[in-house]
């Protein structure tokens, strides 16, 4: 099935938000304690691999303020993270996804009531000084370089990780943008199974070892790991709201939540989502962490410092619990 009809409204609202970023009328959210009671226990967070470094920093800051709390981070592809909840029934307080639509597809309505859109990103091609043709590759010839004999490039698994299906979308859009109808098939064939990993950050070690010359990654990840990267045209990098209509031309099928079923994702600008689980084992501490994570002087600051654009203010779908009132604005959409 295709993404819900209200997706168009989300993109419209994000576009307006980008135009009037400073004038949305919301009070800036700042850090603060949810109560005078000392927080204790662990907060379990399943998260996209691309959020690993920012969340580590957030956990350090939060634990310093709340020494009775331990933040337990578990990285994976976002779809794999959601399936830990729906299929493995593992306890979890917070899920942070590189695609907010994963939360909508796999967790609503049985596991969550809320979905907070908080960050953006774009696709790039990461590489090192040891990569073949490192001195030649650029934003115009990248696909010609990748398709040269002996060049190894990788991506993540589309069934586990949004970066995987977004890479396939990027290749489809590249075929249209460069007016080369066979380009998608060439790029897909040129990336063998041995160069595909469950999450994109696992490709970094392959880059460093020389097993890969190039890897499709998020820009924030490349910057956090101090890698060289090729910036892709905005028409294909899924990072520019202005090209939302062009992105819609790309579609990728992934395995559904039930055996034998598939879900079709359409190309959209990259937007991250985070949610509080209905049965969060440590709801009080999880709420406090989310307030910190979504605060301008808290987690949003860290994301920006680490090269990832944020939504200011964050937007939410569904219903926020009273404890999270004020952390985000309702996303206005067409139903």
Q: Is there a single domain that holds both residue 139 and residue 180?
A: yes
pLDDT score recorded for residue 31: 54
Mark whether 133 and 210 lie in a shared domain.
yes
Torsions phi, psi for 122 (to 5 deg): -150, 155
Contact assessment for residue 96 and residue 51, using Cβ atoms and an 8 Å cutoff: yes
**Banded pLDDT at 19 (limits 50, 70, 90):** very low
The mean pLDDT value for 241-269 works out to 95
Q: Is residue 191 a part of any domain in this protein?
A: yes
10 three-state secondary structure: helix
Q: Taking the alpha carbons of 300, 306, 311, 312 in that order, is the dihedral positive or negative?
A: positive
- Helix (H) or strand (E) run with residue 46 in it: strand 41-48
The answer to whether residues 233 and 139 belong to one domain is: yes
Q: Determine what percent of the chain is predicted with pLDDT higher than 70.
A: 88
For residue 261, being part of any structural domain is answered with: no
Kindly report, residue by residue over 29-62, the tens digit of the pLDDT.
Answer: 445 444 457 999 999 999 999 999 999 999 999 9
Run of H or E residues at 330: strand 329-330
Residues 233 and 113 in one domain: no
| DSSP3 helix / strand / coil % (the chain, rounded to 5) | 35, 25, 40
Mean of the per-residue pLDDT values of the chain: 92
Cα separation of 3 and 267, whole Å?
A: 10
Report yes or no on 210 lying in a domain: yes
Query: pLDDT tens digits, residue range 170-214?
Result: 999 999 999 999 999 999 999 999 999 999 999 999 999 999 999
pLDDT of residue 186: 99
In three-state form (DSSP H/G/I as H, E/B as E, the rest C), the secondary structure along 251-312 is EEEEECCCCCCEEEEECCCCEEEEEEECCCCCHHHHHHHHHHHCCCCCHHHHHHHCCCCEEE
Q: What pLDDT does residue 258 have?
A: 84
Which structural domain, as residue segments, surrounds residue 239?
Answer: 123-252
Q: Is the pTM for the entire model greater than 0.85?
A: yes
Backbone torsion region of residue 226, taken as left when φ is above 0, otherwise alpha when ψ lies between -120 and 50, otherwise beta? left
Model pLDDT, residue 13:
53
Q: Note the Cα 317 to chain centre separation in Å.
A: 17
Same domain, 113 and 182: no
- For residue 2, the SS3 value is coil
Residues 218 and 128 in one domain: yes
Q: In which residue are the tokens 């689980």 written?
A: 277
Q: Is residue 335 part of a domain?
A: no
Is the same domain home to 130 and 28? no
Q: What is the pLDDT of residue 334?
A: 44
CA distance 205 to 220: 16
How far is the C-alpha of 138 from the C-alpha of 321, rounded, in Å?
47
Q: Judge whether 101 lies within some domain.
A: yes
- Do 112 and 140 reside in the same domain of the chain? no
In the prediction, which pLDDT does 107 show?
Answer: 98
Q: How many domains does the chain have?
A: 2
């Amino acid at each position: 099935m295709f993404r819900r009809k209200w997706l168009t409204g989300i993109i419209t609202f994000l576009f307006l938000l980008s135009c009037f970023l400073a004038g949305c009328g919301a009070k800036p959210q700042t850090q603060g304690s949810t109560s005078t009671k000392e927080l204790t226990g662990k907060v379990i967070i399943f998260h996209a691999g691309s959020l690993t470094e920012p969340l580590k920093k957030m956990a350090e800051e939060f634990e310093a303020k709340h020494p009775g709390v331990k933040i337990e981070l578990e990285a994976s592809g976002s779809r794999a993270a959601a399936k830990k909840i729906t299929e493995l029934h593992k306890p979890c307080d917070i899920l942070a996804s590189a695609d907010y639509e994963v939360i909508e597809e796999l967790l609503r309505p049985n596991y969550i009531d809320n979905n907070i859109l908080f960050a953006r990103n774009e696709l790039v091609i990461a590489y090192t000084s040891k990569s073949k043709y490192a001195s030649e590759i650029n934003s115009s010839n990248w696909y010609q370089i990748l398709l040269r004999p002996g060049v190894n490039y990788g991506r993540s698994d589309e069934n586990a990780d949004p970066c995987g299906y977004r890479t396939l979308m990027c290749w489809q859009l590249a075929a249209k943008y460069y007016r080369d109808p066979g380009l998608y098939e060439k790029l897909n064939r040129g990336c063998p199974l041995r160069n595909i990993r469950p999450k994109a950050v696992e490709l970094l070690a392959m880059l460093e070892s020389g097993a890969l010359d190039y890897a499709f990654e998020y820009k924030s990840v490349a910057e956090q790991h101090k890698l060289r990267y090729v910036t892709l045209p905005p028409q294909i990098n899924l990072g520019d709201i202005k090209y939302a209509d062009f992105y819609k031309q790309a579609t990728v099928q992934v395995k559904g939540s039930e055996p034998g079923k598939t879900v079709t994702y359409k190309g959209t600008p990259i937007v991250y989502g985070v949610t509080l689980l209905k049965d969060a084992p440590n709801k009080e501490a999880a709420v406090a962490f989310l307030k910190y994570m979504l605060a301008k002087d808290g987690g949003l600051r860290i994301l920006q410092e680490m090269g990832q654009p944020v939504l200011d203010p964050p937007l939410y779908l569904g219903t926020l619990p009273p404890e999270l009132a004020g952390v985000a604005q309702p996303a206005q959409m067409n139903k």
